[in-house]
Amino acid sequence: MSKSKSPPGRGPSDRMIAVRQADLAPFLPVLFRAMKTEARKSAVIRLSLVGNDRVPRGALRKFSVRNFKRRVKALMKKAGVEFGYLAIDISWNEDESGLYEPHWSVHAYGLVVGPTLRGLRASLKRLCPRSQTTPRPYDAVEWDGSIDSVSYSLKFEFDRRVGYVGYRRDDPFRKMRNVRKRDMRVEHLPELDAFLERIGPYGRVIPIGAQLRRGPNGPSFVDLRPSADDDTTRPIGPIEAT
């Protein structure tokens, strides 16, 4: 995982970054090897979901993570996703032209399997319609097998996203909405830190067709799908982080 890119006074402290990194480090090899094992049998899709959860400043402590996870799992079931995981991501969103009020946006990012890439995109197009404030509610591409996607899903620094109106590269006369990523402002960090502390590292992960279990030596990721040989559950990848 990369080190902090935030200039002094504009982002989380080195101590807070170190704490977040230490909390999430045990999950990286477990999830990566689990999905690499799955990739030997079927295509793994890298998926990003941006919902319509717009949380005003000061209200993040009231945001129901349990309800968010329930809605994500229900969406994955409708889309035909059978296995994988998504991790909770969050950003502070603003718009240069004042199209919408500044707010926290809670979304999800991870690796999943089940339908074909084309089938998943078709399902999400139907289930996740575009809106003026969310022009790209999902992004689904085939996973390239690198650890970078898993590392990104478990990132420990978060962005401020600033919407603006620009022009298409292939058509300089056609306007389009876009987003710039900026460092989080200092005044937003206490609320963000309190939210991350409340949900904890295990609370960040949303298992699909699996279960994330606590163990004496770290987390384990257990496949809950019926085995081809019997109806018992089976572990995926290393049971415990090393």
pLDDT tens-place values along the chain, 242 residues long: 444 444 434 455 566 677 777 888 999 999 999 999 999 999 999 999 998 889 999 999 999 999 999 999 999 999 999 999 999 999 999 999 888 899 999 999 999 998 899 999 999 999 998 877 677 899 999 999 999 999 999 998 899 999 887 777 777 677 777 788 999 999 999 999 999 999 999 999 999 999 999 888 889 999 999 875 544 445 544 433 32
pLDDT for 34: 96
| Cα three-residue angle 148-205-56, rounded to 5 degrees | 100
pLDDT for 148: 96
pLDDT for 240: 35
Report the C-alpha gap between 155 and 158 in whole angstroms: 8
pLDDT for 241: 34
pLDDT for 234: 53
- Is 201:23 a contact under the CB 8 Å cutoff? yes
Report the C-alpha gap between 126 and 120 in whole angstroms: 10
Report the C-alpha gap between 103 and 44 in whole angstroms: 32
Report the C-alpha gap between 135 and 84 in whole angstroms: 25
The amino acid at 41: K
Give the containing element (helix H, strand E) for 150: helix 148-153
- Is 240:220 a contact under the CB 8 Å cutoff? yes
Q: Which residues pair with 176 in a beta bridge?
A: 166
pLDDT for 229: 53
pLDDT for 13: 59
Provide the greatest CA pair distance for the chain: 61
Two tokens, residue 38: 């799955």
Who contacts 234 (Cβ-Cβ below 8 Å, separation ≥6)?
A: 222, 223, 227
Extents of the domains making up the chain: 14-210
